[in-house]
Every structure is written in C-alpha cells, then in structure tokens.
Structure 1
Amino acid sequence: MDTTARPRAGGRRITFLVALAVFAQESTWNFYDAQVPPLLMAHLGSAAVVGLLMGMDNIIGLFIQPWMGNRSDNTRTSWGRRMPYLVVGMPLAALIFLLIPFSAAALPALIAVMFAYALVVNSFKPIAEALVPDFISPERRSRANAVVKIAAALTVVLASVLSILIVDDHPTAAFFIPSALMLVAVVVLASTVRDSRSRGYQQALAEDRESTETRRPRALDALRDIVRDTDRSRLLLMLAIALFGGAWAASRSLMTPYGMEVLGLSRGDAGGLTLVSGLVYIVVAYPVAMLAERFGRLKVIALGMAVFAVAMLAATLLRSPAGTVIALSAGAVGASGFIINAAVVLWNLAPSARVLGTYAGFYTVSWATGGFLGPALVGAMVDVTGWRLMPVDVAIVTVLAIATVVRIGLIRRSPTEQETKP
C-alpha cells in the first residue's frame, strides 16, 4: 500500500482550496483595476491623479501585509491561525466591493470605499497564500504554488469577460459576480479547512513549547533577522524579487505605449499584445514547477530570468506585432520560472514555521515594491534611450536580478551554508 497516497491527496485538496480563495480574491482585484478607473475619470480630469488613487492599494499593502501575516503567525485558536482572519476578512471585502458602484456618484465616498476595500483585502492576502507552506511539504510547494498562480492568472480572463459581456448593460450588477465568488469561496473554506491540523501549525506549537522566549516573533524582529544575517540569502532574494517584479511589471504596463510608438498599432491592438503570453503562462506554469522540484528552484529561477531577458532582446530585433507576440510568449515561459518558485524559496528559507505568514507578507511586499518602482525606472530609461529600446531596458533590470540570484546560489553552495533544497 502506498503510504504517501493520503498525504498527497490531502495536499492536492488544500492546494485546490487555496487556489479557490486566491481566485475569488484576485477576481475582485482585477475587476477593480479594470472598472474603477472609469468611475474616477467621471470626476477627475487628470490621469496622474487617477493613477495615484489606483496605486493606493500598493502603498497600503507595503505596511499592512507583513504585519497581518505576522499577526496570523502569532494567532492560536482551535480553528488554527489563518482561518479566523479569512472567515472575517473575505465576507467584509465582498461587502465593501459591492459598495463601489453605489458610492461612485460622489468622489469622496468613492475614495473612502476604495481605501476601505484596499485595507481589508491587503489584510488577508498573505494569510490566504500562507496556507500553502502551512499544509504542503517543502519539496512539493512549487507545484502547489503553480496551481495558485494559475488561478490568479485566470482571473484576468474573468475580469475581461465580465467587462465585455456585462459592464455596458449592467454596470452595477457586474460587481455582484466577483463578490459572490468570494462569498462562495469563504463558505467552502470555512466548511472544509481547519489549519490547526496543518503541518506548519503543529510545528509552530512545538516550537512554542520548546522556546524560552515568552514573546512570539514580530514582523520587525523577522526583518531584523534577515538584515543582520551574515548569510544574506534571504535579503538578496527579496532584492531579486523586487528587481524582477519591476522588470515584469514594466514589460506589461509599458507594452501598450511601446506598441503604439514603435509598432504603429492602435491603442486597442497594442493593448492586446500581451494576451497570448498570458495564456502561455497559464499553460507552462505547472510543468515549470515540476522541473524546479526536480532540478532545483534556484537553477530554474536563474534560467527562467535569462530566457526572459533574451526574449526582451529578441522583441527589440523582431520589431513587428507578430515578432513581439512571439517574444513576449517566450518571455512568459521564462518569467514563470521565477514567479512560480521565488515565493517557495523564500518560504523554505524561513527559520521557523512560526514566521511563514510573515515571510508570505515579505514576498508580496517585495513583489509589489518592484511593481510600483519598476515601470517608473524603465520609463526613466526610455526617456533616455527612446521607446525603440524599451525591451532592452527591461532586459537590463532583469540582468541585475539574475546576478542577485546567482550570488544566492554561490552562498547556498558554500561549505558553511548547505542548500536546503530552496
């Protein structure tokens, strides 16, 4: 009899449930990103102010996500440490999301609802994702995270479908669908998941009993430990996440003006340049995770970023719509190597099961920081080099991320730092 069958089945079950939670959450996020800007434009004439208000959620996330991840790490209940926050946060977020179209008539009310929504959703985002390292063993976390990332990627398609089919005729009712998905997801989670039974929670309880410290680790303590560690692997990894997150965000957000300025496309056609690559990413995510678990995550991360950088260079040479789509699709294959595995490496480098939620918050903050600063950095480079070399500018930032990951690999192979299969 295969003794691993039941744990593996349990792992597949929790992976599906976490993917469901992330799918529901990201459905509201992506629909928010697609449909709130027009509501703001009805009151504001400045695209810069609209962009600033739409970026408010990223700023809030920088502060709230590590703190809430740490709060969940230090929670001890019969239901576990993550679920109490999810069963409160997800219905509250769904309710606030429903208020968005009703508040759109007055700008102050709309901004207030936007702030409340961003605050609540950022509060449980790292908590939902931390269920993966809680339940899944380190060696199988890449494939689990791949499923979660695929679920998140599918929400982009869902937001587009809702926008195309429903928004014009039913602009208010369209907000009910993502909210309903979130409510269904939390009901399923609440009725099926007890993270008090997870491997991570049980390890945290054991560490609580063995620890001589009466105070549990705070987010600031965990950050200080990373900064002061002479190993530097974790700090360098967070830097690499920010660098590649910036390169990836720039390649997506600046592709529409690139298509218009360099390829001579209309705004709509230029906006569709990334569609095929998004579908390619969904297809390759799980196979890439399997490769990482077999050959090593750091190797797949570095190789994937190299493929992405080469694809960006190829986009500069293949200066046509078809060539750009092919290059972006190849780049998506490479990017998946990083996006699927970087969080897993960071989780696996956590010194204790008591800080897995905190580390989930550190990942999202590092990625969001790159997403916030990357387009601005590449945009400044474009001001110097011109739009024709925008993909090269993205490749340059990617090379910095590759160098950082290579340095981590050298550290992990040193005689004093044995690699723990990150």
Structure 2
Amino acid sequence: MRPARARLSSAERRLFLLLGAPGLGLSLSLTVISTYLPVLARGFTGSRAGIGALVGGEGLVALLVPLWIGGLSDRVDTRFGRRVPFLMATAPVAAVALALIPLARSLPVMAVEVFFFYAAYFTYLAPYRALYADLVPLSLSGRAQGIQGIFSQVGLGSALVGGGLLLELWRPLPYLVAAAALLLGTVLLVLGLRGTEGPPAVPQRGSRSSAAEVWALLRDHRAIRALMIANALLSLTLGGMKAFVVLWLTEGLGKSMKFIAGAMTVVAVGALLGALVSGQLADRHGAARVLARTLVVFGLGLVLPAFSSSTLLLGAELPLIAFCGGAASTLPYATVMQRMPARSHGAAAGLFDVSGGVGTLLGPALTGAAIDLLRPLFASTQGYAAMWLVLSASTLASVAMLRRARSG
C-alpha cells in the first residue's frame, strides 16, 4: 500500500473534469456504433461474422493511425500546443461521419462512413490520451482516469440504456446525439486548456520515425510489452461483448428492447461505480494490482451466461460484472502511464491504441465466428451463448500478462 492524498485540490478537480469531458462523447459515439451498428447492418446481411468484421474495422484503423499520430504529436508544436490541434481538426469529421451512418442505403456506403469515423476517432484519441500523461501527476493517475472513466461510463450507459429507445423513435437520433456530445466535450476541453502548458515538444532525433519510436518502446521496456498484450486481450473481450450483447439478448434470449434498457441501466450504474472506486484504489494500491484482481472476477463471471439463460441468475450476477467491467475499462491506461518514458507520451499513447485495435479487430470477428461455428451446441440461444466462452478466456489471459508487467 502507498499513501494517497485523500482530497484533490480545486485546480486538480477542474483539470480532471476538463480532460474527462470528451470521454463522454468518445464513449457514446463508439458504443452507439459498436452496439447498434450490427442492428442496422442486419438489414443488409445475415452473416454474423460479416457483421463482426464491419464493427471490427475499428481495430483495423487503430492499427494504422495511432502509431504515426501519437509520435507526431510528441514532435510538433503550435500556438495551440501539441495535442489540441489534432482534437480540433478531427472532432468535426468524426461527428459528420457519425451522423451519416444511419442514413446509408447499402452496406458498402455504410462501411465507408464507418471507416471515416474510425479514422477521425483514432487521430483524435492518441493525442487526447497523451494529454493525461502531459498534465496529470503519476500519483493522481488513478483518480484522473477514474473521473475520465465516469464520463466514459455515462456515455456507455446512455448509449446502452437510451440508444435502443432512441433508435426506435428515429434511426439517426442516437447517432446525432453522440455527434453533438463529442463536439461539445471537445469545445469545453479546448477552451478550458487555453494557457495550460504541458512539457515542451520533443526535439527531432535524426530521422527516427514514429514507428521507430514505438519499436524502441517495445524493445527497451519489457513491462510495456506485457501491458500492451494485456490491453489487446482485454480489448478483445470488450469489443466482442459490445458487438454482440444486444443480439444475444434479442435473438438469443428473446428479450425486448425495453427489457434491454432496464438491464443496461443496471450495467451503467455498476460500471460507473466501478470506474469511480477503482481509480481511488489504483492510487493507493497500484493500478496494475487492482486491475488484475478485478479481471479475475470479471473473467470468471463471464462463464455463467454461456451455460445459463436464467433471468434470475444472470440478474443476480449482473451488478458485480458491471462493476468489474467499469474498472476494466478505466484502469488499463493508468497502468501504462506509470511506465511510459517522459519523452514518449504520444508514442506510448499511440501504441496503447494500436494494442487495443488488435483486440478490437479480433474480438468481434472471433466472437462472431464462434457464434456461427458453435451454433449447434448452443441451439437454444441460436449460438450466441458461445460468445461468453471466448470473452472469458481472453479476459483471464490478460491477467497473466498484467502479472508479468508487474514483475518486469
């Protein structure tokens, strides 16, 4: 156990609230796409694996964009700072693409719009993450990520609870709300950080590229390697879950959208509490330790839905799983912040997004393939119960990598 300040100063609370504000729009927009895009895509294709690949395109873009953008944001400098110009340029692009997705008249058109959203999203994300490493003391990284996690969980919960209801009222509505939230959060952050200076830009070091910076991080830092693998495995879990949880409930268990909204309310409240409590515990006990113990409970809990359709049993387990899921979404970057070199905040943030992209790319595709392949064994849920075996296995595997990082 290590000492942690009980209270944040007013300046720290203001900074953490400003940094967290875009998290609501980012989470809301990404969750609307990953959760309800499959519902829209079902109008164009019946292939679960195909739907998983469309949603998993997030991971493909995440493999290409953050490495370059994160390292670039370490080296450029403007009158707006290093990170903020990326946010100002990409938030409007992401918002427009998001608003157009539900208006698509064919699967190829939808795929193009989704690609542009993901390209803007990941150009935004790595510099945004790097702001935390630039401005937040390591001793407060858990609570900073906890506050950001609260914003993210509010966005997640709003999408899960209200998204389906808004979708029934008017298909574009949840996408328009998400676009507006992203723009508003970005404006608040940009205006609030005026005059706030982070560390100076990293000077150019010969002809070393962003990719070379990332390779140096992986080569020279064993703990970072392990953390990135753990993040990829955890992103596999979360990506696969978000892609198919609504279809599991509607087609697998035959639940209505109103039932889903009620269940997602429980998930949202539990996840919000998980984000809040885990951030405080991370500053006291260490982010990696708290995350690893939480993921053990999370991974074991994900086994139950594979073998039970009982509303009573699943409902009893749901609050605990939601709490652990909130912590699992909040703490991974806090663990990386503890290990990243001071001169490579952007490169490390980009690498974090790439590792998440690997998992997000594989998660929906592997989960969708498992549903299709194991459908005969899980016929009562049309194969959807098989998804929980994949998600449990990837979660528990991430724990082993976290323990390796702690010993590295």
The two structures have a TM-score, normalised by structure 1, of 0.79
1:158 aligns with 2:149: no
* 1:355-370 → structure 2 map (5 Å cutoff): 355-370=344-359
Offset from partner CA, 1:6-46 (integer Å, 9 cap, x none):
98333222221222112123333333345545554555565
Residue equivalent to 2:406: 409
Q: Secondary structure of the residue that 2:350 maps to in structure 1? A: helix
Offset from partner CA, 1:331-367 (integer Å, 9 cap, x none):
3333444432221121221122x32122222222222
Instruction: Give ranges in structure 1 of 5+ residues lacking alignment.
Output: 412-422
Q: Given residue 189 of structure 1, which amino acid in structure 2 is its aligned partner?
A: L
Residue equivalent to 1:8: 9
Residue equivalent to 2:117: 117
Offset from partner CA, 1:64-114 (integer Å, 9 cap, x none):
122212221211122210111111211232233334455x24655444333
Residue equivalent to 2:211: 220
* 1:333-412 → structure 2 map (5 Å cutoff): 333-352=323-342, 354-374=343-363, 376-377=365-366, 386-387=377-378, 391=388, 394-411=391-408
Q: Secondary structure of the residue that 1:185 maps to in structure 2? A: helix
- Single out whichever of 297-306 and 31-40 deviates more from structure 2: 31-40
Distance in 2 (CA, whole Å) between partners of 1:222 and 1:121 is 22
Residue equivalent to 1:287: 277
Please report the RMSD computed on the Cα atoms of aligned residues, expressed in angstroms.
3.5
Distance of aligned partners of 1:406 and 1:351 in 2 relative to their CA distance in 1, 3 Å threshold: same
Distance of aligned partners of 1:276 and 1:39 in 2 relative to their CA distance in 1, 3 Å threshold: closer
Q: Report if the CA contact (8 A) 1:274-1:328 is conserved.
A: no
Distance in 2 (CA, whole Å) between partners of 1:117 and 1:62 is 15
Distance in 1 (CA, whole Å) between partners of 2:368 and 2:38 is 21
Distance in 1 (CA, whole Å) between partners of 2:153 and 2:297 is 20
Distance of aligned partners of 1:35 and 1:73 in 2 relative to their CA distance in 1, 3 Å threshold: same
Distance of aligned partners of 1:38 and 1:243 in 2 relative to their CA distance in 1, 3 Å threshold: closer
Offset from partner CA, 1:157-192 (integer Å, 9 cap, x none):
333565455444444565443333333333323322
Q: Report if the CA contact (8 A) 1:304-1:336 is conserved.
A: no
Offset from partner CA, 1:279-300 (integer Å, 9 cap, x none):
2111121111111111122221
Q: Report if the CA contact (8 A) 1:19-1:147 is conserved.
A: yes
Distance in 2 (CA, whole Å) between partners of 1:65 and 1:368 is 9
Q: Which has the larger radius of gyration?
A: 1
* 1:6-405 → structure 2 map (5 Å cutoff): 8-34=9-35, 36-37=37-38, 39-44=40-45, 46=47, 48-101=49-102, 104-105=104-105, 109-160=109-160, 163-172=163-172, 175-194=175-194, 197-198=197-198, 201-202=199-200, 204=201, 208=203, 214-215=205-206, 218-229=209-220, 232-250=222-240, 253=243, 265-268=253-256, 276-313=266-303, 320-352=310-342, 354-374=343-363, 376-377=365-366, 386-387=377-378, 391=388, 394-405=391-402
- Give me the identity figure in percent: 23
Q: Report if the CA contact (8 A) 2:52-2:364 is conserved.
A: no
Q: Given residue 73 of structure 1, which amino acid in structure 2 is its aligned partner?
A: D
Q: Secondary structure of the residue that 1:76 maps to in structure 2? A: coil
Q: Report if the CA contact (8 A) 1:82-1:195 is conserved.
A: no
Q: Which structure has the higher relative contact order (CA within 8 Å, separation 6+)?
A: 2
Instruction: Give ranges in structure 2 of 5+ residues lacking alignment.
Output: 379-384
Q: Report if the CA contact (8 A) 1:312-1:328 is conserved.
A: no
Distance of aligned partners of 1:147 and 1:220 in 2 relative to their CA distance in 1, 3 Å threshold: same
Q: Report if the CA contact (8 A) 2:23-2:185 is conserved.
A: no
Distance in 1 (CA, whole Å) between partners of 2:325 and 2:166 is 32
Q: Secondary structure of the residue that 2:341 maps to in structure 1? A: coil
Distance in 1 (CA, whole Å) between partners of 2:400 and 2:173 is 48
Distance in 2 (CA, whole Å) between partners of 1:33 and 1:222 is 31
